[in-house]
Amino acid sequence: MSAVEASSGAGQVIAATRKILSAKAERFTESVIREMTRLAMQHNAVNLAQGFPDFPASAEVKEAARQAIADDINQYAITWGAKELRDAIARKFERTQGVRVDPEREITVCCGSTEAMMSTMMGIINPGDEVVIFEPHYENYGPDAILSGATPRFVQLRPPDWSFDRDELSRAFGPHTKAIIVNTPNNPTGKVFSREELEFIRDLCVRWNAFAVTDEIYEHIIYDGMQHISMASLDGMRDRTITINGMSKTYAVTGWRVGWAIAPPEVSTPIRKVHDFLTVGAAAPLQQAGAIALELPQSYYQKLAETYLVKRDRMLGILTKAGFRCFKPSGAYYIMTDISGFGFADDVSFARYLVEKIGVAVVPGSSFYDNPAMGAKQVRFTFCKKESTLAAAAAKLSNLCPG
Ligand code: GLN
């Protein structure tokens, strides 16, 4: 008889089961972003919560995936990525950022940039290591830190321009700092880090011998003449940067789960090992399609940014009219808003009201902060949606009364 069978009563069975569950997993909640998508479906609401495009991917990229399956590319790729894709990633990084990397030793293709980030963290972190994280931050970074065993040190990005205090950032670094996570263009704020800001971060990384883990998944979604600068392109950062990127946002294929980590060889080695035992590899035919996608001409990226600019301005108009104070994003496809004008107790009750009564799903601001109170007056909208979706949201939000 097992210990669980031997115990009597439901409470004891639960207690016995709880004993063997992970304390790490207890420390974070389900993703609020993904939960909001489920609530949107349940209430038949317009989903402006989860950042996935609801319009088609390019015909060329879809055809490449179909062709790869027809060509019987149906078995495992090399665990750290199909050669064609790694070669294409290296060529594109050099073309766009002037950074030369060796596809044989410095690129690990993963199941989305989510896994690339997790494999990176697990590949570099030891007990006692600290990781500096700007907040508000993409919600995954919290669990990434917990699961890898890092202690997060949060540094505030402050509205309206989401700048950071240089002294506060300097104080967050110390002898235990293993890395800083930099997400530019930024989710959820839309901030695009300037060269001066990146250089300031660079100097701290050099001084404290820390890595920069940069999430650059929105690199091509950028407005108002802003420029995306890869941390790895800065003097002195080539060998202490791990660049995370992927196909999801650039090619509108978030469900394909193809991402990658670019890191110097000695850092790629542990990343590759962790990745191998986590997932073995990303879908082989989709990696093949990725090799085609990454060779698309410059005009593709120009059109992408132009299309999103129209959507951003449309959404800013809709939200301002509905009574939100908007923080205008310079990049990515989210708008953080201030909801003070509506008189709700907090962001979660407001988001619940929006999805249940108004019919629009958003992400409560608190899910981007370590301390929920910091986001209690904010919610995030995404606008990576087709015009008919944005129009439907506009109609529903017109029923919202500023309180
Ligand atoms: N990055 C997207 C967001 O922030 C989607 C996240 C996800 O669900 N993987 O909404």
Q: Which tens digits make up the pLDDT trace of 296-317?
A: 999 999 999 999 999 999 999 9
Give the integer Cα–Cα distance in Å for 117 and 110.
Answer: 9
Q: Which domain holds residue 220?
A: 75-293
The span from the CA of 335 to the CA of 190, in Å, is 7
State which of 32, 37, 50 you would mutate to test the pocket of ligand 1, scoring each by most atoms of that ligand within 8 A of its C-beta.
50
Residues 216-245 pLDDT 10s: 999 999 999 999 999 999 999 999 999 999
Of 260, 293, 326, which residue sits at a domain end? 293
50 lines ligand 1 (CB under 6 A): yes
113 with 166, same domain: the answer is yes
> What is the structure's pLDDT at 19?
67
Pair 107, 239 in one domain: yes
Residue 272 lies in a domain: yes
Across all residues in the chain, what is the average pLDDT?
Answer: 94
pLDDT, position 29: 86
Dist. CA 24 → ligand 1 center (Å): 22
- In angstroms, the CA 37 to CA 305 distance is 25
Are 53 and 129 in a shared domain?
A: no
36 and 184 belong to one structural domain:
no
Q: Do the Cβ atoms of 140 and 117 come closer than 8 Å?
A: yes
Specify whether 267 is located in the same domain as 373.
Answer: no
- Evaluate if residue 193 carries a pLDDT over 50: yes
pLDDT interval class at 3 (50, 70, 90): very low
Which residue's CA is the closest to the ligand 1 atom numbered 8?
34
Between CA 120 and CA 144 the distance in angstroms is 9
Is residue 143 in a domain? yes
Residues 21 and 138 in one domain: no
Of 335, 390, 381, which Cα lies nearest the Cα of 48?
381
Longest dimension (CA), the chain: 69
Q: Are 107 and 262 in contact (CB under 8 A)?
A: yes
Both 43 and 137 in one domain: the answer is: no
Q: Are residues 260 and 325 in the same domain?
A: no
Asked if pLDDT for residue 44 goes beyond 50, the answer is: yes
| pLDDT value of position 2 | 35
Do 53 and 119 lie in a common domain?
Answer: no
Domain count for the chain, please give it.
Answer: 2
Domain boundary among 238, 262, 293: 293
CA dist., res. 320 & res. 322, Å (int): 5
Shared domain for 266 and 378, answered yes or no, is no
Structural domain includes residue 63: no
What's 312's domain CATH number?
A: 3.90.1150.10
Which of the residue ranges 18-27, 112-121, 157-166 would you say has the lowest mean pLDDT? 18-27
- 162 within domain boundaries: yes
**DSSP one-letter string for 26-76:** HTSPPPHHHHHHHHHHHTT-EE-SS----SPPPHHHHHHHHHHHHTT--SP
Residue 11 has pLDDT above 70, yes or no: no
**Alpha-carbon radius of gyration of the chain:** 22
**52 Cα: distance to centroid of ligand 1 (angstroms):** 7
Q: With respect to residue 1, please indicate whether it lies within any of the assigned structural domains.
A: no
Mutate to test the pocket of ligand 1, among 113, 137, 141, 254 (most ligand atoms within 8 A of CB): 254
The pLDDT of residue 6: 39
The response to whether residue 34 sits with its C-beta less than 6 Å from ligand 1 reads yes
**Residues 373 and 392 grouped into a single domain:** yes
With beta carbons less than 8 A apart as the criterion, state whether 226 and 331 touch.
Answer: yes
If asked whether residues 314 and 280 sit together in one domain, one would say: no
